[in-house]
Chains A and B, each alone.
Chain A
Amino acid sequence: AQSVAQPEDQVNVAEGNPLTVKCTYSVSGNPYLFWYVQYPNRGLQFLLKYITGDNLVKGSYGFEAEFNKSQTSFHLKKPSALVSDSALYFCAVRDTDTGRRALTFGSGTRLQVQP
């Protein structure tokens, strides 16, 4: 079975500083990885995904993620954080050991950007 771990419940960063939200995964076969963001009382918004190819994936709102196969990680990054980036971030991996196309999510990391 596949799984995702987000080791930090919360990440605090000052506005203008770079941010990293960590994610590690476990999956049989090739990984298909996704990042979503959730604002209070809202659904999930898609940020970016890794399917194959370049290890650095660029996504929405200036976010990018670095895929590292040897470390089974897919960390979310942004060079300069904004206060408006404060939200709950979820990493997810596509199921590969069943015929379904479900996503398995991590427990989420709350990002707090201080002005």
Chain B
Amino acid sequence: DAGVTQSPTHLIKTRGQHVTLRCSPISGHKSVSWYQQVLGQGPQFIFQYYEKEERGRGNFPDRFSARQFPNYSSELNVNALLLGDSALYLCASSLGTGMMGDTQYFGPGTRLTVL
């Protein structure tokens, strides 16, 4: 079975630009979460979506937004890019049962570099 897929793999942007990252969850999974991993740190939670509704949001500015589509895929958008947005962006999918033990499975990530 295919795992979580993300595109693109790498991306280089300049400050002030906008970027869209995409994620396709594991078949049968209805929940998608986004995390930002800055070099040398653990992933930080950005958003979680379930059935196209935002279920949670981390401590990120309004420049970050996301959405989930009817096929459960998701996009993460970042406006007005800053140098500090350079990071590995990870998408995770889960069944979305709402149970605390629901496991999140991660994709390979999108490496964003802002120059």
Contacts and interface: CB of A to CB of B under 8 A. Distances in A.
16 contacts: A34-B104, A43-B6, A43-B106, A44-B90, A44-B92, A46-B104, A46-B105, A51-B100, A94-B101, A95-B56, A100-B45, A101-B55, A102-B58, A105-B42, A105-B43, A108-B41
Interface of B: 4, 6, 31, 33, 35, 41-45, 48, 55-58, 90, 92, 94, 98, 100-109, 111
A104 interface: yes
B43 A90 contact: yes
Contacts of B35: 103
Given A44-B90, A101-B31, A107-B42, A49 B56 contact: no
Interface in A79-110: 90, 92, 94-96, 98-108
Contact of B56 (A32, A44, A102): A102
- Nearest 8 interchain pairs by C-beta: A100-B56, A105-B42, A51-B101, A102-B45, A43-B106, A44-B106, A43-B108, A32-B100
Contacts of B90: 43-44
Contacts of B48: 100-102
Contacts of A30: 100
